[in-house]
Chains A and B, each alone.
Chain A
Amino acid sequence: MNTLCQGEMPIDTENDIVMARKSVREAAVTLGFGVTDVTRIVTAASELTRNIYVYAGSGIMRWHSINDSNVGLELVFEDKGPGIIDVKLAMEPGYSTGKGLGMGLPGTKRLMDEMDVLSEIGKGTTIRIRKWLRQ
C-alpha cells in the first residue's frame, strides 16, 4: 500500500524521451497499474516530453505517487520555453503549432484522468497530469 516512488530527470536530448518513457513505465508498473493504463501513462509522458524537446529545447520531468484516499501517479513537465499563447485553444482537438499531428494536448488529456496546463508567454509551461489506480 505504501509504495512510494518519485523522481525527476532533465529533458535535453531526443534520447531523454526514451529514458523518460522507461522511468515512467517503471513507476507505473511499481504502483500496480494494469498494462493498458501503463501504456496510456507512458504514451502521455512521451507526448509531453517531446513537446518540451521540440518547443522549449529543454526542461524537466518529475513524477511521484499519490497516496491519499486514492492511489495514483502524478507527472509534472516543466520548461522555460516560449509558452503557449492560448491554453484553451491548445486544448481543442486538432490544434497544433509544430511537427505533431495536432493530437498533442487534447489527446494526452484523454489518456489521463486529470490534466492542468499553466503557461506564461516567454516564461515557460508547466503541465501536470494524473492517473488514478482503478480499483
Chain B
Amino acid sequence: MTTQNYDKSRSILGSDESFRLLVDSVADYAIIMLDTKGQVASWNAGAEKNLGYRQNEIIGRHFSCFYSSESVNEGLPEKTLKLATENGRYEYEGWRKRQDGSRFWANTLLSPMLDSQGTLIGFAEITRDFSERKNADYARSLIEASLDPLVTIAPDGKITDVNAATESITGRSRIELIGTDFCDYFTDPEKARNGYQQVFRESMVRDYPLELRHANGRVTSVLYNASVYKDEDGAVVGVFAAARDITERKLSEERIKQQSREILELSTPVMQVWQGVVAVPLIGCLDSQRTQQFMERLLDRIVETNSPVALVDIMGVPTIDTQTAQHLIETITAVRLLGAQVVLTGVRPAIAQTLVHLGIDLSGITTRSSMAAGLLVALDLLKLQVVKKSENHRGD
C-alpha cells in the first residue's frame, strides 16, 4: 500500500493536478479564478474558509457577491477588473462580505490571466484576511491620537518610535527622532538617562519629572510613566514611555503656594491696638521662613504706625526650641534698632520652663504672661495711665 501511494504521489508531483492540490491546500489565502466577466470559475479551500461559500454554491456566480451592496452600487467590482486589466495587476484593501453577511478587512491582489496569444481569459484573485493588520493599524491610530507624548526606547537609549504628540512637543519629525538619543531632548540629559535605565532595572517608573526641550527652545515640564515591553518569548525589547504635560498642574500648584503664603500672612496680623502700640499674636510653629516674613511685616508696621511699642504674643506657639528663640531674639533686636521696643507676652508656664532649660537668655527683654499685662507695660512705657471713671462722671 505504502509503495503504491508513494508511487502515485510521485507521478502526480509536477503535474497540473499537483498544482491544483497545492492551490487547494492553501487555507490562509482565498485563491479564486474569475472569468473575463467576473464570474467565479474556480475556488480553493482558502476561499471557502475566508468567504464561507462551498465550491458548488459559488461557481458561476459573479464575484460582486463578496462586496457590500454600496460597493456594488458604486461599481467597485467592475472597476477593480478594469484597473487590473489596464495595469497588469491591481492590489487593494477594503471590506469584504462573507456568505453569512459578516465582514472582514481584506487585502486583494487581482491579476489578469492571458493565453499564449495574449488574449484575456480571466482573472486570478488572491485575497487575504488582514483584520489583524487592521487592528494593529487601529491601535497605532489610537497611539497617534493620544495627546500624551509616547515614545519607545531601545536598551541603548535610542528612540525606536514616537507618536504625533512627541513630534509636536519636541518640534521634530518622527524620522528625525527615530534612532537618536532619547536624552538629547531634555534640559537635563543625565536625569533622562537615569530615568530610562531605572525602567530597564525595575521594569517601570511612575511620575518621573523631566523637562522636554522643543527645537525652538521652549521647555515643557512633564512627568514620565514608563514600563518595559517584551517580545513573544518574554524578553525585554525596550521601554514604552508616556509623558504627561504638567505645565498646567505646575501653574495650579503655584497658585496653591501663593494662596498658602497669603494665608500665612493672614495668620500673623499686625494690629494697632493703641496709638503707639502694635500687637501680633503668633500662632503655630515658627520656622525660619515664617519668622523672616513675620519680622519684616512687624518692622514695616512699626514704622508705618510710628509705634514705639510692639506686643509679640507667643501664647499660640506650641513649642519653642533654640532655633525659634534665636529668631525671636533677632526680631526683638531688629525692632530695637528701629527705635521701638518689644514686649513678649503669652509666656505660658511650659514655655517659661523650656526657655530656662534650654539656657536661652531673655533677660534684656520685657516679658509678661498675658497680653493684658503686656498692654499695661506698653501704656506705662508711653507714660499713659488707665483710670477708672469716677462715680460722679457716670450718666454725664
Which chain B residues lie closer than 8 Å to A135 at the CB level?
254, 257-258
Cα-based distance from A135 to B257 in the complex (angstroms): 9
When the two chains form their complex, are residues B296 and A36 in contact, meaning their CB atoms are under 8 A apart?
yes
Residue with the greatest number of chain A CB neighbours at <10 A, chosen from B254, B257, B296: B296
Query: Which B201-217 residues have C-beta < 8 A from chain A?
Result: none
For A36, give the chain B residue with the smallest CB separation: B296
Q: How many residues of B contact A (CB 8 A)?
A: 4
Cα-based distance from A6 to B254 in the complex (angstroms): 27
Q: CB-CB contacts of B254-267 with A at 8 A, as 1s and 0s?
A: 10011000000000
Which chain B residues lie closer than 8 Å to A36 at the CB level?
296
| Cβ of B213 to closest chain A Cβ, rounded Å | 13
Query: Which A5-35 residues have C-beta < 8 A from chain B?
Result: none
Cα-based distance from A36 to B295 in the complex (angstroms): 11
Cα-based distance from A135 to B254 in the complex (angstroms): 9
Query: Which B222-262 residues have C-beta < 8 A from chain A?
Result: 254, 257-258
Cα-based distance from A36 to B300 in the complex (angstroms): 10
Cα-based distance from A121 to B257 in the complex (angstroms): 46
For A110, give the chain B residue with the smallest CB separation: B330
| Cβ of A131 to closest chain B Cβ, rounded Å | 13
Query: Which A87-135 residues have C-beta < 8 A from chain B?
Result: 135
Cα-based distance from A135 to B296 in the complex (angstroms): 16
Cα-based distance from A135 to B258 in the complex (angstroms): 8
Query: Which B245-296 residues have C-beta < 8 A from chain A?
Result: 254, 257-258, 296
Cα-based distance from A36 to B334 in the complex (angstroms): 13
Cα-based distance from A36 to B289 in the complex (angstroms): 14
Cα-based distance from A135 to B256 in the complex (angstroms): 12
For B250, give the chain A residue with the smallest CB separation: A69
For B293, give the chain A residue with the smallest CB separation: A134
For B299, give the chain A residue with the smallest CB separation: A36
| Cβ of B299 to closest chain A Cβ, rounded Å | 9
| Cβ of A75 to closest chain B Cβ, rounded Å | 21
| Cβ of B247 to closest chain A Cβ, rounded Å | 13
Cα-based distance from A36 to B296 in the complex (angstroms): 8
| Cβ of A109 to closest chain B Cβ, rounded Å | 14
For B211, give the chain A residue with the smallest CB separation: A69
Query: Which B294-341 residues have C-beta < 8 A from chain A?
Result: 296
| Cβ of A73 to closest chain B Cβ, rounded Å | 18
| Cβ of A41 to closest chain B Cβ, rounded Å | 15
For B221, give the chain A residue with the smallest CB separation: A69
Cα-based distance from A36 to B258 in the complex (angstroms): 19
Which chain A residues lie closer than 8 Å to B258 at the CB level?
135
Cα-based distance from A135 to B251 in the complex (angstroms): 13
Which chain A residues lie closer than 8 Å to B296 at the CB level?
36
| Cβ of A40 to closest chain B Cβ, rounded Å | 10
| Cβ of A72 to closest chain B Cβ, rounded Å | 16
| Cβ of B298 to closest chain A Cβ, rounded Å | 12
Cα-based distance from A83 to B57 in the complex (angstroms): 104
| Cβ of A69 to closest chain B Cβ, rounded Å | 8
| Cβ of B229 to closest chain A Cβ, rounded Å | 32
Cα-based distance from A107 to B40 in the complex (angstroms): 99
For A134, give the chain B residue with the smallest CB separation: B289
For A34, give the chain B residue with the smallest CB separation: B296
Cα-based distance from A8 to B351 in the complex (angstroms): 50
Which chain A residues lie closer than 8 Å to B257 at the CB level?
135
| Cβ of A93 to closest chain B Cβ, rounded Å | 13
Cα-based distance from A36 to B254 in the complex (angstroms): 23
Cα-based distance from A10 to B82 in the complex (angstroms): 87
Cα-based distance from A118 to B285 in the complex (angstroms): 37
| Cβ of A135 to closest chain B Cβ, rounded Å | 7
Cα-based distance from A36 to B298 in the complex (angstroms): 13
Chain A residues engaging chain B, CB cutoff 8 angstroms: 36, 135
What are 4 pairs between A and B in contact, CB < 8 Å? A36-B296, A135-B254, A135-B257, A135-B258
4 smallest beta-carbon distances between A and B, as pairs: A36-B296, A135-B257, A135-B254, A135-B258
